[in-house]
Chain A
Amino acid sequence: MKYIDEYRNRELVNNLSRKIRKEVTRNWTIMEICGGQTHSIMKYGLMQLLPPEITLIHGPGCPVCVTPVEMIDRAIALGELPEVILTSFGDMLRVPGSHTDLLSVKALGGDIRMVYSPLDVLHIAAENPGKQVVFFGVGFETTAPAVAMAIKEARKRNLDNFSVLVSHVLVPPAIEALLSSVDSRIDGFLAAGHVCTVMGTHEYIPIAEKYRVPIVVTGFEPVDILLGIYRTLQMLEQHRYGVENAYARSVKAGGNRAAQKILGEVFEPTDRNWRGIGTIPISGFRLADGYRKFDAVLRFTLQYMESEESGSCIAGEILTGQKKPSDCTSFGSSCTPEKPLGAPMVSSEGACAAYYRYSGAAIPNQKKLTP
């Protein structure tokens, strides 16, 4: 298949693997930001192709994982209301809140629907004028434009029974939060190719300069990821920092201007709480003036709920790369995809789910980050 097979080419992969082994002279820790990259790394066993000097750690780029538990509890409370049809992407339905998850609410009669696109939710709203249709909008800069489109379209069509529980977050503030942490030991980053396709690369330049780190925009196929690692390694070995683009077939420096325009119109930046990490200033979106009437939080009066995390889940340390899933004592025993303690074991982009799915409870070929 064109644009797929050539990036899963064995010869190209082996060439890059050889180049990386040749280039490396000391230990380096590189973080891939995006959960999609983590899954590719595990699915294709890419760590088997890297020299022992290179440690890959997995970043916070899993939107489902970083959605705070109080937001999931809100979605659950909305889904339990008889007048509400609650819609979201598939993974969100399985993430545990404080006491239950959306699939369990559905099993008990809540009208919870999985959608592939927020625009589909507009059809549901139009077809159910007697119901309130809420979209639980999660994701990074990649999914936010489609949600913005849906909201703009809803305003145009006067769809008063449509609203959004907005939980969108932004990548650059998260990278900065990781780098500014005192115990950060990340030498370089693979930036998320899809996010940069929308937003371009300029936001990362000040971060790379301030913290003197290489940030290489990287794709998702095996060749892309090894190329991203190789380019990062070259910069590290040559004591260079800055932003480079190793995913040029998709990412342009300016990004997708039309998407950026609609994001700027419908949303405005706000502080956001990240699950397991805490509040990061100006790290997410809320609805801008003129679109607030579509905010589900303002439309529904929900009782204050005390949200609580599972005590033994180390999602925060996983999401900040301080620990690997295999460092967790619950991994594969009391925490499995069937009975997850935290979101990283649920989401198709979660690091724990990737480890479990592709390596099982016993993890070969990987170094532990903690003794």
Chain B
Amino acid sequence: MTRSGRYSLQCPIPKSEHEHILLAHGGGGKLTNQLIEKMFYAGLGNEFLMQGHDGASLPAIKGKLAFSTDSFVVNPIFFPGGDIGDLAVNGTVNDLVCCGAKPLYISLAFILEEGFLLEELWKVVQSIGDAALTAGVKIVTGDTKVVEKGKGDRIYINTTGIGQVLPGVNISPDRCSEGDVVIINGTIGDHGISIVTTREGMALDSPVESDTMPLNGMMQEVFERQPDIHVLRDPTRGGLSSALNEICRSSETGITLYENTLPVNDGVRGACELMGFDPLYIANEGKMLVILPEEHAGEVLKIMRSHDAGRESLIIGRVTATHPGILHMETTIGTTRIIDMISGEQLPRIC
């Protein structure tokens, strides 16, 4: 047992008579209970989860609440830099952060395919426990359903989270204003390229790792010291382009990106050149777009850069009134073009 009283990452799978998930594991009977006690309580236990109710009774939260849900169907479930477990926790944590909130509680629902290896489920559960500990959130309630072999793909996860909106913070796309700057906390496209290169079995010189990570630690310090942030968005599916296009459209302002500032890892660039992808459209799972008045940019960059999640933070664009609703880019060769939202599905099952 470790610091939190949970199993550590090195812990062997808790003993069970079965090696695989059976339909009965989702039937509500003995096997379901074994799964809950031996695996979920052991890997994720805390005072709320251990109440053993149908749901969790939680203490009152002061002020406004943030509430967010997300489902995870990523394929493959294990990839360089993470797995479906930490992705499911970090994804919902970061969605709550985008509301200007401190994430507190998370629910966890599994849809498992009959025949899924319990050993793999245990790995995922440990990863969830570890990610929750890192992000400082508690898994307070959950559910498990099992579908017949061939009716699902090993494991799907839904997480739903509650957070407390921090005082003085008012995040909304409407607040995007002319003269604001756009900050990002590091390189783009890492998660999507990690998934696609793993899935396609592409051997790169150095594998690209997913950037999945919780951003609440970094952003909480930003909220506390400079709450006047106008818009936050985590550029997940559809990448930077979709996130910024959505902001342009809902705020009826324009944004100009500077291509020569966009941070892209060499591995991601190489894979994109090879496969014909554009990093602007590739998913991220540990990035935050922060739009704020230019006069606060220096202070916020300093805070962000003091955290591991934000060491490479920089300004990549500016909000303008000249082309409302449209995302523009100044290219490296000095021309301009628009960046449209992605059409269709470039990379399915990326998260």
Seen from chain A, the residues whose Cβ lies within 8 Å of a Cβ on chain B are: 1, 4, 8-10, 13-14, 42-46, 48-49, 94, 116, 222, 336-338, 348, 356-360
Contact of B333 among A1, A44, A358, A360 (CB under 8 A): A44
Query: Known contacts A356-B340, A360-B326, A360-B338; is A8 also within 8 Å of B333 by CB?
Result: yes
Chain B: interface residue count, which band?
10 to 19
Q: Is B18 positioned at the interface, with any CB of A under 8 Å from its CB?
A: no
Using A4-B269, A13-B334 as known contacts, list a sample of 5 further A-B pairs with CB atoms less than 8 Å apart, ordered by residue number in A. A1-B270, A10-B332, A42-B337, A337-B343, A357-B340
A46 to B200, CA, bound (A): 34
Query: Known contacts A94-B344, A337-B343, A348-B276; is A358 also within 8 Å of B338 by CB?
Result: yes
Contact of B343 among A13, A14, A116, A338 (CB under 8 A): A338
Chain A contact surface mostly: helix
Q: Is B295 positioned at the interface, with any CB of A under 8 Å from its CB?
A: no
Cβ contact within 8 Å between B335 and A49:
yes
Cβ contact within 8 Å between A45 and B275:
no
Chain B residues near A49: list those with CB within 8 A: 333, 335
A293 to B347, CA, bound (A): 35
Residue of B200, B331, B335, B344 with highest tally of chain A CB at under 10 A: B335
Cβ contact within 8 Å between A359 and B337:
yes
Q: How many A-B residue pairs have CB under 8 A?
A: 54
Q: Is B4 positioned at the interface, with any CB of A under 8 Å from its CB?
A: no
A339 to B269, CA, bound (A): 30
Seen from chain B, the residues whose Cβ lies within 8 Å of a Cβ on chain A are: 200, 266, 269-270, 273, 275-276, 326, 331-338, 340, 343-344
Chain A residues near B269: list those with CB within 8 A: 1, 4
Chain A residues near B344: list those with CB within 8 A: 94, 337-338
A359 to B336, CA, bound (A): 9
Contact of B336 among A45, A338, A348, A357 (CB under 8 A): A45
Contact of A43 among B200, B273, B337 (CB under 8 A): B337
Sample (16) of A-B pairs whose CB atoms are under 8 Å apart? A1-B270, A8-B333, A9-B333, A10-B333, A10-B334, A43-B331, A43-B337, A44-B335, A44-B337, A46-B335, A338-B343, A338-B344, A357-B340, A358-B340, A360-B326, A360-B340
Residue of B266, B270, B336, B344 with highest tally of chain A CB at under 10 A: B344
Smallest Cβ distance from A283 to chain B, in angstroms? 26
Smallest Cβ distance from A224 to chain B, in angstroms? 12
Smallest Cβ distance from B101 to chain A, in angstroms? 34
Which residue of chain B lies nearest to A11 when distances are taken between CB atoms in the complex?
B333
Which residue of chain A lies nearest to B278 when distances are taken between CB atoms in the complex?
A43
Cβ contact within 8 Å between A116 and B340:
no
Chain B residues near A44: list those with CB within 8 A: 331, 333, 335, 337
Which residue of chain A lies nearest to B336 when distances are taken between CB atoms in the complex?
A45
Chain B residues near A94: list those with CB within 8 A: 344
Chain B residues near A356: list those with CB within 8 A: 340
A356 to B343, CA, bound (A): 11
Chain B residues near A42: list those with CB within 8 A: 337
